[in-house]
Chains A and B, each alone.
Chain A
Amino acid sequence: MNNTAKPKIVCRDIFKIFGKTPAKALELAARGVSRADILSQTGNVVALRDISFEMAAGETFVIMGLSGSGKSTLIRHFNRLVEPTSGSITVDGEDIVAMGKARLREFRRRKVSMVFQNFGLLPHRTVLDNVAYGLLMQGRPKAEQRERAAYWISQVGLAGYEGHYPRQLSGGMKQRVGLARALAGEAEILLMDEAFSALDPLIRGEMQEQLASLQKELGKTVVFITHDPDEAMLLGDRIAILREGSIQQIGTPEQILLEPANDYIARFVKSVNRARFLTAGQVMISFPVLAEKGLTREAACAAMADSNVDHVFVTRDGALAGVLTKDALQESSKGTGGIHVTTSCKTSMPLEQVTPLIARSSLPVAVVDLEGRVVGGLTRAVTLRSIGELTARSSA
């Protein structure tokens, strides 16, 4: 993700009203009248309210919300399957709301492709023809259509199924066809509307991995809709949380997990397997780090007292040598009581992988950066609290 580049997609003040008198409802919605009140007063449904955000090229932007939150409506604004009631959407600086019919078709053919929850495959066409559909729309020569379609079919792992019909495939295979169809046209923007929600968990995991690895190579701008927080955390560079048509928070997965903007979000992400998404670097606390050379009992005691901790990491030639404990210092009347060897982990290591290290010893685990410098540590208490933090907070 490149923050200095111009944003790929910009949404400004999008409102979407479903109903017969959108103008009236729009006015009320802009004044902040609640969704229920607008419905009872005007009979119109406010699907989206005051949505504004930017998306960088190459970013995977996840829009998360429960059903009815407006997330499927929102994603359809990016290829104008749904028209906004007011507001603007620009892609690469071009206002897509202002596009005429022909320009819009061209935009859909070249710039943006979509993967659907229920696949949306043409049942009477083969896998090959389905995957080639976007290429057909682009008007590419027949031979090129077939060649590229075959390539993408093999990329999603369906080589050999070119001549099959959708009904002969399992759900996961159908969605691979849907993905291949979306990728084959080489559009820069990929819209994925609950693309994996209809699949069973095992297949869903596979598909998520496949998307992540493809994305690493392709670097597309992905808008991904899901109601599954785990999926959002796993795939999203940033996550927007939508509730009743309004954005509650936009942030990185860590921000959402660690600094939920409100109770709703906290409850929403409660079920997330935090150990999988939080890293050692994110939850570590700082410990004094002292060089072994010239280390004195007094210096160690002072460092512990300063930092109000019971341990000090000791380095030898810049690398981790071990840890001094307060207990050991107190037991031996002089000297440091000896350096205990302890393990270390990288800042990027998920807590999921840290926990076994913590479990094996009562000593804190050192957290080291890429150069091997000790930047902090994790105690059992800190780690477990981080994993269980939200549970504790929401029950408090």
Chain B
Amino acid sequence: MFPELFDTRSFREAIDRSADWVVTNWGATIEAAFSPLLRGLVLLEQGLLWLPWYVLIGAVCGISFLITRNVKLPLGVGILLFLIGAVGFWDDCVRTIALMLAATLVSLAIGIPFGIAMSLSLTVRTIMRPLLDIMQTMPSFVYLIPAVMLLGPGKVPALLATVIYAVAPVMRLTDLGIRQVDPDVVEAVTSFGAGDWQKLIHAQLPLALPTIMAGINQTMMMALSMVVIASMIGAGGLGYQVLQGIGRLEVSRGLLAGLSIVALAIVFDRIAQAYGRRMQTSLHMNDE
């Protein structure tokens, strides 16, 4: 038995009291600050739900055809999405896609600038690294429940949790990608009088793009893997079906919903990979 060195109760009470204080005094303000985000999320979800299913599937197939110029990927993607609809999860699937896309966009908006800052500054990197480790390993519920207390249940805390979990890969790989850029190219650009911003735009970002794209893909996958957790705080979607399956001890429902999440993951992974390959070709970087 580990000796009780000090009484943690008062310590824990202090934490709880300060959390309560924040919820009581700042909750309404913070919730109001996030309400535009909620409206955006609702709009995105309703927009996607408003589209007839065949239009949405067609659009995804069309995008994948434009990327690959090949019928294999669009065909596979179309079949997978059709199957998800066929087992009765179309609306939940669309909700999950909406949340995943929104979380990915927010993650990119945060992750790429921070990744750039990490690549340029050792200080930022030293601070961000452990922070990213915490964000990826801290069980989500630890911060989710306080987030629900602050923001109420639903899409906003789900989005935040997903972003916290999914932002790390794109941040890490942006950092890595930029630091791996051929120093000769950066030096050459500098020698012609490029400023920091021009260096970034002309050389570092385009050359790091394939690595950043891999990060975006991973971020998307991790966002998808959060759908069940997100549903546990009221985000709905395919994760909700999984929870219902668990709650009712319906193995079939849980399995089908789980497989649908896997199918979605495959769809987006393959599209993102194909896009990454296409970009690499159009950047003419295969042999460099």
Contacts and interface: CB of A to CB of B under 8 A. Distances in A.
Interface of A: 79, 81, 101, 105-110, 112-114, 116-124, 133-134, 137-138, 165-168, 181, 185, 191
Contact of A81 (B182, B187, B195, B284): B187
B7 interface: no
A172 to B, nearest CB: 16
Contacts of A109: 192-193
A81 B184 contact: no
27 contacts: A81-B187, A81-B191, A105-B193, A105-B194, A108-B190, A108-B193, A109-B192, A113-B192, A114-B188, A114-B191, A119-B184, A120-B187, A120-B189, A122-B202, A122-B203, A122-B206, A123-B283, A123-B285, A124-B284, A124-B285, A137-B194, A166-B284, A167-B285, A167-B287, A167-B288, A168-B284, A191-B191
A108 B184 contact: no
B51 interface: no
Given A108-B193, A116-B184, A121-B185, 14 more contacts: A107-B193, A113-B191, A116-B187, A116-B191, A118-B182, A118-B184, A120-B185, A120-B187, A121-B188, A133-B189, A133-B192, A137-B192, A167-B286, A181-B192
B207 interface: yes
A109 B288 CA distance: 26
Contacts of A124: 206-207, 283-285
Contacts of A79: 191
Contacts of B287: 167
Given A116-B184, A118-B184, A123 B191 contact: no
Nearest to B185: A120
Nearest to A191: B191
A76 B207 CA distance: 23
8 smallest CB-CB distances across A and B, nearest first, come from: A120-B188, A109-B193, A108-B193, A165-B284, A167-B287, A123-B288, A124-B283, A114-B191
Contacts, number: 79
Interface residues of B, number: 23
A181 B182 CA distance: 18
Contacts of A118: 182, 184
Contacts of B194: 105, 137
A107 B185 CA distance: 19
B187 A137 contact: no
A358 to B, nearest CB: 47
A137 B284 contact: no
Nearest to B206: A124
Given A118-B184, A122-B202, A185 B284 contact: no
Contacts of B191: 79, 81, 108, 112-114, 116, 120, 191
A122 B207 CA distance: 8
B80 to A, nearest CB: 33
A134 to B, nearest CB: 5
A105 B195 contact: yes
A333 B176 CA distance: 93
Given A166-B284, A167-B285, A167-B286, A122 B185 contact: yes
Interface in B24-76: none
Nearest to B196: A101
Contacts of A168: 284
Contacts of B182: 118, 120
Nearest to A139: B193
Interface string B161-194: 0000000000000000000001011011111111
A63 B18 CA distance: 68
Interface string B246-288: 0000000000000000000000000000000000000111111
Contacts of B188: 114, 116, 119-121
A166 B187 CA distance: 17
B192 A185 contact: yes
Contacts of B190: 81, 108
Contacts of A134: 192-193
A120 B285 contact: no
Which among A107, A110, A114 has the highest number of chain B CB atoms within 10 Å?
Answer: A114
Nearest to A102: B195
Nearest to B209: A124
A134 B182 CA distance: 19
Which among B182, B193, B195, B288 has the highest number of chain A CB atoms within 10 Å?
Answer: B193
Nearest to B287: A167
Contact of B193 (A106, A117, A167, A191): A106
Given A119-B184, A123-B207, A123-B283, A108 B192 contact: yes
B192 A166 contact: no
A331 B188 CA distance: 73
Contacts of A110: 193
A93 to B, nearest CB: 20
Interface in B183-226: 184-185, 187-195, 198, 202-203, 206-207
Contacts of A113: 191-192
A139 to B, nearest CB: 10
Nearest to A111: B193
A348 B270 CA distance: 70
Contacts of A107: 193
A114 B287 CA distance: 24
B258 to A, nearest CB: 41
B187 A123 contact: no
Given A122-B189, A133-B189, A166 B288 contact: yes
B125 to A, nearest CB: 19
A79 B194 CA distance: 12
Contacts of A117: 184
A138 B194 CA distance: 10
A110 B187 CA distance: 17
B193 to A, nearest CB: 3
A158 to B, nearest CB: 17
